[in-house]
Amino acid sequence: MKHYEVAIIGGGLAGCSAALHIAKRGVSVVLFERGRCGAQASGVNFGGVRQQGRHPAELPLARRSRGLWDQLPELVGSNCEFVPTGHLKLARTDAEMAELEAYRNMARDFGLELELVGKKRLHEMYPYLGDNLAGGSLCREDGQANPRLVAPAFSRAARRAGADIREMSPVAAATHTGQYFEIKVRDEVVSAAKLINVAGAWGAKVAAWFGDEVEEGVIAPNMCVTEPLPLFMGPNLGVCGGSIYLRQIPHGSVIFGAGMAIADPEKIRARPLAEVTQEGARLAIEMVPRLANALLVRTWTGIEGSIADGIPVFGPSLNVRNLFHAFGFTGHGFQLGPGAGAVLCELALDGETRTAIDGLSIERFQKVASSVGRH
Ligand SMILES: Cc1cc2nc3c(=O)[nH]c(=O)nc-3n(C[C@H](O)[C@H](O)[C@H](O)COP(=O)(O)OP(=O)(O)OC[C@H]3O[C@@H](n4cnc5c(N)ncnc54)[C@H](O)[C@@H]3O)c2cc1C
């Protein structure tokens, strides 16, 4: 039986980043991905690299990850089209403006600087916005990247660093013998001293193999892209309540997301919905009226794990030593991906991390399975 120090289940951005960070420390690591690395949520998302608006429990991880986005060329050999375009969160009412102000004050404690922009200045700075807005909050260091490029770039860099990246390798079962993990993939069983579960929308299923019970639902944000338009948009746009979000990519197309499509994690299928696309287009045009004449060229969606309180399960297992989970990113794990891998590497190799992740612990669900002893 082949033995590794660390095994990873899931080749999304979180898993590929963990593999890279672990391999760079010279430790043996294998990653199992059922399909292709980055083909699920990590490769089909909106591409928002956004810290603004995150739950305070997630901000330390988001801050850690933001530093890594600047280092992509050194880490993976490409910037993956990461551009710090900024992120402008818009308010439609004075009450929403007050929410943005309260968030700005809270975020300062995490070193995240946000600038409030009043109604008059908003329209001077961004004349392409619709006129039903009360103001906004700008995060200059937020931005966007091309999701199709990022996880594959991390997987290639991990392989170059010595990681054993195994695509088309579905893990059918994993157990803990009391000393190490045994992982069954097709006809082979490999063993590992440590196991990282980054299986995305299938993460709770893997966690349940070890008695870590968490309810993970599934969401499928409905995405659309227009034909290329002359460049006009500055920062990515969002709105209080999250009903619509938009960004313009360097070749001119405007990508927007609004509402939810449908997904079936068992069949590994997801598809956008025409009526959701139609309402999304209406909201996009309300926010940016010049989109009224733009042609929509494609719609799509993806399969994303979702936790009821809106934040992921992140950190050590409650039941099994040397098992670490990071799943259920609930629509906002792309920005977190590079940092998630760095923190998982620290947890697995050092037993601790310098990033505050306590608020994301599986402990908040208080469901320790009594049948599975802590090994
Ligand atoms: C349409 C959409 C838009 C989004 N927009 C944004 C955004 O703008 N900004 C943002 O920050 N986040 C966004 N997200 C969320 C973000 O994409 C995800 O949170 C993030 O990519 C999760 O990464 P991951 O590595 O945890 O999971 P995934 O990318 O889902 O990877 C998990 C992998 O595990 C594999 N796997 C599962 N079970 C097994 C098994 N038994 N054996 C082997 N492999 C297995 C799967 O095949 C999959 O490839 C969006 C998500 C979607 C779907």
- Interval 11-22: pLDDT, tens: 999 999 999 999
CA of 149 to the centre of ligand 1 (A): 14
In a domain, 72, yes or no: no
Predicted confidence band of residue 118 (pLDDT cuts 50, 70, 90): very high
Tokens standing for 180? 């190490």
> Residue range 244-248: average pLDDT?
98
Q: Are residues 224 and 360 both part of a single domain?
A: no
Q: Are residues 18 and 60 both part of a single domain?
A: yes
Task: Report the percent of the chain where pLDDT is more than 90.
Answer: 97
In a domain, 169, yes or no: yes
In a domain, 374, yes or no: no
Token look-up 């927007």 returns 256
Query: Which residue has the CA at smallest separation from atom 21 of ligand 1?
Result: 42
In a domain, 39, yes or no: yes
Closest ligand 1 atom to Cα of 220: 53
Q: Are residues 160 and 265 both part of a single domain?
A: no
191 pLDDT higher than 50:
yes
**Residue 152: half-sphere exposure toward Cβ, Cα within 13 Å:** 11
373 pLDDT higher than 80:
no
The whole-number pLDDT of residue 188 equals 97
Q: Are residues 53 and 118 both part of a single domain?
A: no
Query: Which residue has the CA at smallest separation from atom 35 of ligand 1?
Result: 10
366 pLDDT higher than 80:
no
CA of 182 to the centre of ligand 1 (A): 24
Closest ligand 1 atom to Cα of 198: 26
CA of 304 to the centre of ligand 1 (A): 6
Predicted confidence band of residue 368 (pLDDT cuts 50, 70, 90): very low
Query: Which residue has the CA at smallest separation from atom 52 of ligand 1?
Result: 45
Q: Are residues 158 and 298 both part of a single domain?
A: no
Render pLDDT for 121-160 as a digit per residue (tens, 0 to 9): 999 999 999 999 999 999 999 999 999 999 999 999 999 9
In a domain, 295, yes or no: yes
Residues 6 or more apart whose CB falls under 8 angstroms from that of 211 comprise: 319, 320, 368, 369, 371, 372
CATH number of the domain enclosing 110: 3.30.9.10
Domain count, the chain: 2
Predicted confidence band of residue 372 (pLDDT cuts 50, 70, 90): very low
Closest ligand 1 atom to Cα of 335: 11
Q: Are residues 53 and 13 both part of a single domain?
A: yes
In a domain, 28, yes or no: yes
Ligand 1 pocket mutation pick from 139, 150, 332 by most atoms within 8 angstroms of CB: 332
CA of 337 to the centre of ligand 1 (A): 9
Q: Are residues 122 and 183 both part of a single domain?
A: no
Q: Are residues 302 and 232 both part of a single domain?
A: yes
Ligand 1 pocket mutation pick from 20, 31, 33 by most atoms within 8 angstroms of CB: 33
From residue 233, give the alpha-carbon distance in Å to each of 88, 139, 141, 293, 349. 11, 15, 16, 16, 43
- In whole angstroms, give the CA distance from residue 50 to residue 141: 8
In a domain, 77, yes or no: no
Q: Are residues 175 and 229 both part of a single domain?
A: no
Render pLDDT for 75-110 as a digit per residue (tens, 0 to 9): 999 999 999 999 999 999 999 999 999 999 999 999
CA of 114 to the centre of ligand 1 (A): 28
8 pLDDT higher than 50:
yes
- In whole angstroms, give the CA distance from residue 118 to residue 115: 10
The whole-number pLDDT of residue 145 equals 98
Predicted confidence band of residue 371 (pLDDT cuts 50, 70, 90): very low
Predicted confidence band of residue 175 (pLDDT cuts 50, 70, 90): very high
Render pLDDT for 219-235 as a digit per residue (tens, 0 to 9): 999 999 999 999 999 99
Render pLDDT for 267-319 as a digit per residue (tens, 0 to 9): 999 999 999 999 999 999 999 999 999 999 999 999 999 999 999 999 999 99
Tell which of 259, 278, 306 closes a domain.
306
Tell which of 255, 284, 306 closes a domain.
306
Query: Which residue has the CA at smallest separation from atom 2 of ligand 1?
Result: 45
The whole-number pLDDT of residue 375 equals 46
Phi and psi, residue 196, nearest 5°: -115, 125
| Domain extent for 278 | 84-143+218-306
Ligand 1, CB within 6 Å, residue ranges: 9-15, 32-35, 39-42, 44-48, 170-171, 198-202, 221, 223, 301-302, 304, 327, 329, 331-335, 337
> Residue range 6-10: average pLDDT?
99
Pairing mode of beta strands 304-306, 313-316 = unpaired
pTM of this structure: 0.97
> Taking all residues of the chain, what is their mean pLDDT, rounded to a whole number?
96
CATH number of the domain enclosing 54: 3.50.50.60
Q: Are residues 296 and 239 both part of a single domain?
A: yes
CA of 199 to the centre of ligand 1 (A): 8
Residue 79 buriedness (CB in 10 A; 0-12 / 13-18 / 19+): middle
CA of 12 to the centre of ligand 1 (A): 6
Tell which of 284, 306, 328 closes a domain.
306
In a domain, 238, yes or no: yes
Q: Are residues 128 and 222 both part of a single domain?
A: yes
| Helix axes of 13-24 and 147-160: crossing angle, nearest 10 degrees | 30
> Residue range 350-373: average pLDDT?
81
Q: Are residues 138 and 225 both part of a single domain?
A: yes
